[in-house]
Every structure is written in structure tokens, then in C-alpha cells.
Structure 1
Amino acid sequence: MTNLHHLAEEAVKTALEAGRTVATAESLTAGMVAAVLADTAGASGMLQGGVVAYQNTVKSGVLKVSRELLDAVGSVDGDVAAAMADGARTVLGADIGIATTGVAGPEEHDGKPVGTVFIGIATAGGTTYAEYGFSGNRAEIRGQACGAALESLLAALSS
């Protein structure tokens, strides 16, 4: 966990220095990214809020992810992650949206193997995503996804 806290401290510090705000949209990590950020002193100056969108109805209803996209590709997809990040950014009024979706196991989901993770990033410049393949148990995969989300957030803050 200490690595996560170090990444969160860096992200909070960088966001505060840049005067940028952040919102999260989390499926796989179920609020872990927002919680780790909020554990960091100064987070109230940069963290707008977060949406735990475990179900597709929340992804579409709250985050405005296209129902057609979800029906076509399922929830574990890069374009879904990017759309979730954009939804969080828009709905929560932040400069940057960060999203997580993936398969923590023990079984595959939407035809994707355990450990498949997508991190979505949305900024004023557009949306993107990164794909990862992690291994381990549910907790380990979720922790690795949280770390990847924080690293992606840091990269977006630094650009």
C-alpha cells in the first residue's frame, strides 16, 4: 500500500501545484483510487469527487457512457474506460477524469481474462485509455489497477 500512498501524494502535490482538479469513475477498484487520494493531505484542494460505477446501469445513467457501446463491447473495454473518465470529468466538473474497469476474478468477465484492466483518462484535450494485464488474486489485481490509475493521473497532470 505504501507505493499507492506515495503515488497519491505525488498526484495530489502535482495537481495542487498545477491548480487542476480531478474526478474518478471506478468500476473494478470500487472507490479505491478516490480513497487513496483522499488519504493524502491536501486532497480537498484537488479531488472533486468520485463515482463507483460497478453496474452498467450506473455507467450509462450517471456517467453517460453510451448504452450501445456497453451492449456492443461489454464493460471491460478501453473505449468504455475513456467514456467513464469523460463522464466523471463532466458530471463532477473536474479538469481531469480518471476511470478504472477490468476483471479482478476469479472468473473471466465479458469474455476478457482475469487481470485485464483498462484505465481511462479524460482532459480538455480529449480522452484516451491504457490497457494492462495484471496477475494475482482479486485484491492484488485491484491494487495494481489503483496504482496504474494513479500513474496515469500523474502522467496527465504532467502534460
Structure 2
Amino acid sequence: MFSSLRSWLNIKVLLGAIIFAVCIFAILLAILWSAKAEAISQAPATAFLNIIEAPTETPPAPVVTQTPTAEPTSVQDVPLPSGNIAIGDYVQVAGTGGDGLRLHVTAGVSSEVHYIAIESEVFLVRDGPINADDYIWWLLQDPYTENEVGWGVSNYLGVVQNP
């Protein structure tokens, strides 16, 4: 095995391989050097500055005032005074100023709040009245879900017909 390898590895083959490697290295070095020379010879880019004028002031739009027109409201949407509330009636939350009506677990202001009813929400009266903390309380239930049940004060309730 070594004898066949020795016949291939003589001084002429080794010298030829070294010369071939040096030539390849020289060609590669020449290619890299010429690429570097081209990169340096490029002219530097010129920067341009565009000045944009500020926009002119826009005159304010004229103020248009609209005159309110009276629209008829249906009797169904207007809550009646709270003195007419009875068990089985439908009542609507009104007059909270957008804050909503807090429905408590038990009648009383110190009781835990179970649910906050939004303005114009309709409930079914299930129980009451109970007088607690200088308020008249009614047990209200959402007619669509049985989970929303709580005691609310009558100050923010009005009876509605056929909700």
C-alpha cells in the first residue's frame, strides 16, 4: 500500500502542487486587490437639502348653531313617577346622569354592589318595597337573564308599560 503511494509522491509531484497552489493564491489575491481598488475610486455622493416652506395658517371654520326642534316622545319611553311601582311591573332606570343604578345584594347602601344598571335599562320588579337607609328599595331582575338581580332605590326608577 505504501509502495503505490510512494510512486505518486515524488519530488516532481510535490513541487508541481506547491507551484499550482501559489498560482491560485496569486490569482485570488489579484482579484481581491482589483475589487478593492474599484471601491476606492468611486466618487463620493453629493447630499441634497430640500427646504419645504411651512404651510399657511388655515382660517377657522364658521360656527354653525343649530336650533333644537321638539320631537314627540312615546309614552312608553318616559318613566312614570316611582310612587306607582308594584311587584310584577317593569321599571326603567332614569335620572342617574349616566352613572347607572347600583343594584345591591341586599337592601341598603352598605350592601355589596352586585350589578350596575345603565341608564334606560329595563327590569322586572320581583320584591319590595323595603325602607332602608332613608330609601325605598325594590328587588329588580333583568327580564332577559336571571343572573342580574339586585336591590335598587326607587329614586331612579320609573314604571314603563309593555317594554
TM-score, normalised relative to structure 1:
0.23
TM-score, normalised relative to structure 2:
0.23
Compare relative contact order (CA 8 Å, sep 6+) and give the higher one, 1 or 2.
Answer: 1
